[in-house]
Amino acid sequence: MYQTLFRPILFRLYRGDAEAAHEAVLTLLATISSSRAMTRALDQLFAFSRPELERQLFGLRFPNPLGLAAGMDKDGLALPAWAALGFGFVEVGTVTAQAQPGNPRPRLFRLPADEALINRMGFNNHGAQALATRLKQLRQRPIPIGISIGKAKATPPEQAVSDYIAALHLLFDDADYIAINVSSPNTPGLRTLQDRAQLDSLLTALQHENQRLAANRGLKPRPLLVKIAPDLDDAPLLELLAICTSHQVAGLIAVNTTLGRAELRHSDPELAAETGGLSGRPLAARARAVVRLLAAESGGRMPIIGVGGISSPTEALQLLEAGASLLQIYTALVYQGPGLPRQIKRAMLP
């Protein structure tokens, strides 16, 4: 019904403004989240749970392995609704220490022929403090909540550490895990933080602050995960893995959006040439290759959240077979609708 009725209406209403469609859906889900009755109704329609789907990772319990990727709900506006839709965890953000508007609109583009999106959002968010306040007001947290943090656009890469530290300080109490985004292509200089020296400095500072906050507040250190780009060659990927391992990073998130366009087959060339990161079905093969490489090199000892190109249960299973411990989706929801999480979870059952 979503693909034959609701998606065509939504795409027609917001033909030239994909971000407006995103905002409309998020507003609806935020409204549902504000009502226990509506949240329960959503749960009855879409949720699907089985004990066999539960996972234990990073010292956390995940009701199932399928999560919502960062970017869909940056400011955590609809968390109860995502749980009701059947996700096993949610990653909010990417947020920065201070609020910022992001890049000028238009900055989100649909490529329906390839079931893909191009975005150049630029970490538009209300800031770490606003997110922390919202998370403290949640009535309950039925699923783990990860928080993706990044540097502000105006912050030079050489001063990025202070941005990440400030965000970690503000969000430490309310995060089940912290995702360190050093791989978005839409913030100038951000991807240089994947280089050996800069990543080493960043992880050293973040782990030190993580331990300090935990000791001062009588809490456990938060699992730190690093989100990586799909556009790195094998050698830099393996170097990044070695650095993360040496800093006792809890896991990797593979992969972010790509600057490549080679896998686009059917989209209008002018639209495909829009600046930004590509997500969706064309990213599937590269995401599997990166996950497979990292899982093999680490001997399965580095947990990986696989994300990128999952548009069906088949692609979800393939990413698990490549070595992912957990999965995330985002773009597929735009094209396949809210029934997709249940389909994927059914396929995961023995």
Residue 135: CB partners within 8 Å, gap ≥ 6?
Answer: 76, 145, 174
Contact present, 190 and 148 (Cβ < 8 Å)? no
Spatial contact of 319 and 287, defined as CB atoms under 8 Å apart: yes
Of 315, 348, 350, the residue nearest 329 (C-alpha)? 315
CA distance 256 to 277: 8
Q: Which of 33, 184, 279, 298 is catalytic?
A: 184
Is the CA virtual torsion 119, 126, 287, 81 positive or negative? negative
8 A C-beta contact, residue 205 and residue 165: yes
SS3 content of the chain, % helix, strand, coil (to 5): 45, 15, 35
b/e map of 251-262 (b: 16 or more CB within 10 Å)? bbbbbbbbeebe
The verdict on whether 184 is a catalytic residue reads yes
Report the DSSP beta bridge partners of residue 117.
110, 279
Residue type, 346: R
Of 237, 163, 232, 159, the residue nearest 198 (C-alpha): 159
246's tokens: 């040496």
Q: What amino acid positions are annotated as catalytic residues?
A: 184
